[in-house]
Each structure stands twice: as structure tokens, then as C-alpha cells.
Amino acid sequence: MASLVSVTDPADPRLADFVRLRDVNLRKSLEAEHGLFVAEGEKVIRRAIGAGHPVRSLLMSRRWAEPLADVLDDLDAPAYIADDATLESITGFQVHRGALASLERLPLPTVETVLTAAHRVIICEDIVDHTNVGALFRCAAALGVDAAVLAPRCADPLYRRSVKVSMGAVFALPYARMTDWRTGLSALRERGFQLLALTPAPDAVPIDEVKTADRRALLLGSEGDGLSSRWLHEADHRVRIPMNETALARGVDSLNVVAAAAIACYGLTR
């Protein structure tokens, strides 16, 4: 059973895993060095533990000890109890969801392993916003996509914000990270995947007009510039979400990457 430990000093070294959670640069270096990530909220914590991530420690307000009692009973890790003011001083924000867990990362599978049994996948190139990455994982998991593959510079799905926005979908959708962006798509082509590059370009083919293949991969580009010219060139088809005349008259000729991906994923899995 987890031991409940009351803490009052935000500088307590035992709380180092939870310090300044909004400081992206600090968290990247700290989490990479110690092989950890932070899950926020009861539902997400349960999903992270259910996915097999070992718990290093928890930090919560006392009111969460009872809702998480069954989780605490099964853990051999400290659960630090603090009041709201102390929580905010440690983390740098108001912890509305009341509970945080520091967990160990598991080794990522290779791209080849993730693709073995997959038929519908999303491929994310340089999507650097953690909120968008979390939302993409949630959409893909909800709509029946089998796996995700990330380019080397894509944001970390296990960053706290990504995990939170995904509602734990980052633990349900298998994913891997490419080691080389320039040749990364070759692993998919070698396994018979049809590569569909999502773009708002007017000369792209409406996605519902592309002849379906047994194995399909949807390529998604960065928030600002979209897909690189290299990946657009390597794709089998450049596809778009058709915009109707009303949308165009309003000056709307495209969707953000999450909305577009949700629509495209729905079509991809039908």
C-alpha cells in the first residue's frame, strides 16, 4: 500500500518530479534525464497504471485519497499530500484535477513492430504543439486507427499536456518514433501502405475519392507550414477535406490539423 506523507514545503526534494510542470524546457530535460512523465487527474492516472507504467510517486490534495484508495492499496510508492496553495507553489498552476502521478516511461517499440499488425495509421511530421498531439491521439484512438508513427521532431505524447488532452489515449494507441525523417516513410512503403498526404491544396484529391487500399497511412503536417515538400512528393496521393461554397465564401479554405485529422481518420477507417 502507498504510504501517505503530508508535505508543506514546496522545496522538499522528494517533490522534484512535480516541480514547475508548465516550464516546458525544464520538464523536457528533467523527464528525459530521469525517464519519467506526469499524469494528471484520476482517470488518466488509472489509465497510465493500467498500461503498465510503474509509479514513482503521487502528489495530491487530501480529498483525492479516498477516490484513489483502490489504486493506493496496490502501490508501493509514496503519496504526498498537500494543500492547494502548496500544490500550486510546487507545480506552478492550480491543480484543478487534484491528483498527479509521476510514472516511469516504458521503452518505445520500433516503427517496424508497431506496423506489423496495423492497417490504418497516422504519421505525424513535426507537430510541435503538445495539445495538438494529445488531441490527435484521442481522435485516432476513438476512430479506430491502429497506430501512430511520429517524426523525430514531433512533440512528446507523454508530456503532461498531451496526456491530459488525450484523456489517456496515449496509453491505448500504439506508437513509435522514426529515427530518420528523410527515409522514415520507406518502412511504410515496404510494408505495402498507401501514403495519403493531407493538405488543403486546391489541386489535391478529395479524400473520399481515393480508391481504398488494404493498408493506409495518413500523413499529417505541422501546424503552420503543413507537410514538407519531401513528404508531399513521396506520398501516393495528396488528399484534402473538401470545403463547400459557403465555407469558401466566408474565407475558410481549410481546417486546423486536429479537425482535419478527425474527419480524415473517420474516412480512413471506413
- Say if CB 261 and CB 247 are below 8 A apart: no
- Alpha helix segments (H runs only) across 129-244: 130-142, 160-166, 186-190, 229-234
| 142-169 per-position pLDDT tens digit | 999 999 999 999 999 999 999 999 999 9
Residues 118 and 248 in one domain: yes
What tens digit of pLDDT does each residue of 1-16 get?
788 999 999 999 999 9
> Tens digit of pLDDT for each residue in 86-105?
999 999 999 988 899 999 99
Please indicate, yes or no, whether residues 95 and 194 belong to a single structural domain of this protein. Answer: no
165 and 90 both lie in a single domain = no
Domain that holds residue 32: 3-104
Looking at the structure, tell me whether residues 23 and 66 fall in a common domain. yes
- Residue 241's CB is within 10 A of a number of other CB atoms, namely 20
Of 43, 73, 104, the one marking the end of a domain is: 104
Domain co-membership, 249 together with 115? yes
Name the DSSP class of 251: T
- Do residues 257 and 136 touch, judged by C-beta distance below 8 A? yes
Burial label, 171 (beta-carbon count in 10 A; 0-12, 13-18, 19+): buried
Instruction: Give alpha helix (H) positions in the chain.
Output: 24-34, 42-50, 69-73, 84-91, 111-115, 130-142, 160-166, 186-190, 229-234, 245-249, 257-268
Distance CA 195, CA 237 (A): 7
- Whether residues 87 and 196 fall in one domain: no
pLDDT at 189 over 80: yes
Give the global pTM. Answer: 0.93
**Looking at the structure, do residues 132 and 263 belong to the same domain, yes or no?**
yes
